[in-house]
Amino acid sequence: MTAPESRCGVDPAAPLELYYWPTPNGWKISILLEELGVPYRLMKVDIRKGEQFDAGFLRVSPNNRIPALVDHAPLDGQGPLAVFESGAIMIYLADKHGRLLPAAPRQRSMVIQWLMWQMSGFGPTAGQVHHFNEYADEKVPYAIRRFNDEIHRLYGVLDRRLENREFIADDYSIADIACWTWARLWRHHRVDLASFPALARWLQALTDRPAVNRGFRLANEWREGRPTMTPEARAVLLGQRGR
């Protein structure tokens, strides 16, 4: 795991360490940090090479998944604090910096509800759609139909939520960032955006935000010139089991 040269909001001396690879879950945190305008150190974890299984990373992320965060200057002043799971990281950062997650109970609850909707439904289903459509060695019609139907239903849920709202929870929040990173992959999900006009409008509005663009493009050069799912990467990323 290595830190690249400073760029955008990246600062080699910053107290926040973001363990990162450019994926939808990684983008959640890079975009959020850019929106917050706080400096951070970018720690490269090449998941194609299995760096997420390094012993050092395991101490930060017990689930061996990116993203993960280490805050060397937490508010309690009691030494470094590690946070894993993208949703938990988003809540931690939003709370620490007092932005993009309301303090008022009802508004806060609404943002967290939609963040959990993304974490428990929209993201995992999108991942299964991508897997069975593009990565599975065996094309399983039932699995393809099952997950394609469910992702279409979830796009419908989000579209209805956005029919009379600019953002998911009225004001721009971490829920929007979390959902955008997966909705922007609609082509991979075989979804016709014309069927979801409110969602399409929202998707473009977030795409036009400078911080979203910076966070999304962060370290994309790490993947250039080499496909994500090489035979070596497939052996690392797929078929994992507990020891």
* CA distances, 18 to each of 5, 72, 75, 161, 230 (Å): 14, 11, 17, 31, 25
Q: Which amino acid is at 93?
A: L
Examine residue 10 and state whether it is found in any structural domain, yes or no. no
Examine residue 25 and state whether it is found in any structural domain, yes or no. yes
Examine residue 82 and state whether it is found in any structural domain, yes or no. yes
Examine residue 214 and state whether it is found in any structural domain, yes or no. no
Residue 208 in tokens? 């036009």
pTM attached to this predicted model: 0.92
In this structure, are 90 and 161 located in the same domain?
A: no
Examine residue 39 and state whether it is found in any structural domain, yes or no. yes
Q: Percent of the chain at pLDDT above 90?
A: 84
Domain that holds residue 39: 16-99
Helix, strand, coil percentages, rounded to 5, for the chain: 55, 10, 40
What mean pLDDT is predicted for residues 123-139?
Answer: 93
For residue 172, give every residue at least 6 positions away whose Cβ sits within 8 Å of its Cβ, in sequence order, or none. Answer: 100, 166
pLDDT band at 3 (very low <50, low <70, confident <90, very high): very low
In this structure, are 163 and 143 located in the same domain?
A: yes
Peptide bond connecting 67 to the previous residue in cis, omega within 30 degrees of 0? yes
Examine residue 54 and state whether it is found in any structural domain, yes or no. yes
What mean pLDDT is predicted for residues 188-207?
Answer: 97
In this structure, are 157 and 112 located in the same domain?
A: yes
CATH number of the CATH domain containing 64: 3.40.30.10
* pLDDT reported for residue 226: 64
In this structure, are 145 and 203 located in the same domain?
A: yes
Domain end (from 99, 131, 146):
99
Examine residue 11 and state whether it is found in any structural domain, yes or no. no
Q: Which amino acid is at 224?
A: E
In this structure, are 110 and 192 located in the same domain?
A: yes
What mean pLDDT is predicted for residues 56-75?
Answer: 97
Number of structural domains, the chain?
2
pLDDT tens, position by position, 70-98: 999 999 999 999 999 999 999 999 999 99
